[in-house]
Amino acid sequence: MLERVKQFFSDLQGSEIQQTQIDMKLAATALLVEVARADDNRSHVEQETIFKLLKKHFELSDAETQELLTAANQQSDESVCLYQFTSTIKKNASREQRIKLIQGLWVVAYADGEVDPEEEATIRKIADLLYVSHSDYIQAKLKAAS
Kindly report the CATH number assigned to the domain that includes residue 105. 1.10.3680.10
Say what the pTM is.
0.83
65 and 54 in contact (C-beta within 8 Å)?
yes
Domain range for residue 6?
A: 2-145
Please compute the mean of the pLDDT values over residues 90-106 and round it to a whole number. 95
Would the pLDDT of 5 be above 80?
A: no
What's the number of domains the chain is made of? 1
- Taking each helix axis from N to C terminus, what angle separates 2-37 and 117-129, rounded to the nearest 10 degrees? 150
Would the pLDDT of 40 be above 90?
A: no
> In sequence order, what are the residues at sequence separation of 6 or more whose Cβ sits closer than 8 angstroms to the Cβ of residue 43?
36, 111, 112
Q: Tell me how far apart the alpha carbons of residues 72 and 60 are, in angstroms, rounded to a whole number.
A: 15
